[in-house]
Structure 1
Amino acid sequence: MSFAALAAVSKMRAGSAAEKLIALAYADRHNEETGCAYPSLAWLCEFGSLNRKTVIAAVARLEAAGFLTDTGDRQGNTKQIKVYRIDLESIPKAEPSHKRNRTESGTVPKTAAEQSQKRDTDTVREPTSPKASPSPKRARSTEPKLKPFRLPADWRPTRFPDGTVAREVADRRGRDWSRAAVESFRLWAANADDKDGVGRKLDWQAALAKWIIEQDKRDGRSGNGRVGGNGSGGDRTLGAMQDFVSGGPVD
């Protein structure tokens, strides 16, 4: 993380909220020594709570603006993650408030007395007919729908929230059991049918939580109490689960 990059991007005047979110994501992964960052597409989607198309479009606009420059290097198991150099000098800075308050003609807004005088001399406009307003039912969102996708090769589970069933199961069964459950989940996802709702999911973290719960139930029904283990679960304390619930090593 680069605090200098985060501070610079926080003052950025972006074309859209998505662009600023993605710029902040790259700043969060910015390496001050190399000047580069290479977060995965899946991580960018999770960081900004955005769909893939929106993230890809925002990255392309940031690249066109000169904020991101493709170095030609690639990262990841499949070498599909682009390594971008971040140019903090090219970030469009937010204008001072007195400049943003100027009108399109470039003049400073009139004083309260001048505005009052203008209202007195203006002709009264006819009220707009209700028929002129479009019906709310006709309004359609231009935001593309989020589509299910395969489990990314670089996907890593995140920490289950406190109070959830999946978190309770993971803490109770221990780190070894949880690591084995995550590995079996990865193998299943890699070989599942390439269909929406099966091998393609909208939320893989939610799918893992369901998998953990169902696996715990299957162990209880079978009586062996294990997933690739002896049923003891190892250390079942909260500390033993840090690698798993915090997104640490699971491979």
Structure 2
Amino acid sequence: MFKVILSETHHSLKLTKWGQTQLMILYLLISGTCSLVTVHQPPVIMAALGRAVVLQSNLILSPDEKMSAQPVLYWDHLKGDSDSARLWPSSKSYKSRVALMDSNEDSFNKSILLKNVQWDDSGKYLCKLSITTEGKKFREQGKPTLLMVYDSMIFNITAHDDSLLCCEVKVTRGPAVVLSIFHEGSELETGDCGPEEAAAALPYVTLSKSVHVRGGGNYECQLHLNADLITKSSFQNNPSGVEVFPEPWPLYGSLLLVPITVLLGLIIVQKCRS
């Protein structure tokens, strides 16, 4: 029985065994059954600055293909046409920041964990496998995954205009990501907070959107990559100027318990006397 693993950034798709079989048969038909061993990588993933990210890769084997030895795994950070850095087996610069997600050599999961993500980590990553099957030895690789990095989102009233709400987030250059602002769930028309940082040497661009506050309620800024929500931040506007605190229900409950306890005590004493 063979194994198929599909990877997504925020969602997982559960397939029945029969569904897995149908999917693999369809895949082999589309590919013309020429490639019986493939390596699957997602095209783009995003990671928060300073956090860890999984660089996903899965080995897919057709039912008739059998490996006679364990595949040798390599991961490279492609920094240019001819320049690359080896993540796995770890080079000196990545020694303490990279780990296998599954140390079982028989596993088809060839993903690695990259810790403490930095701006310089943005770029393309390639998974390669040296594979030995019955009668042949070859190298197979996936299609590079682009890693994009983003920093913490800032969403607040501007210093120069207390009616203008501004959202900013730093993101590495790459495929278009969308920054949007919502009020009580409805998307608003937005403008830019100000000119983008012009220094070409910076490893990121600053995305910004602004809206004029239109009343009270919840405002939310969201960063999307295609249909995936990457990060968000909320701003609660209270036009009355009075800070609203949540109801202290635990306090109310404790206050109610006092007279109830006294009343129960009086009932018990009265019964004891009678």
TM over 0.5: no
Give the structure with the larger strand fraction: 2
Bigger Cα Rg: 2
TM-score by length of 2: 0.20
**Could you say which structure has the higher helix fraction?**
1
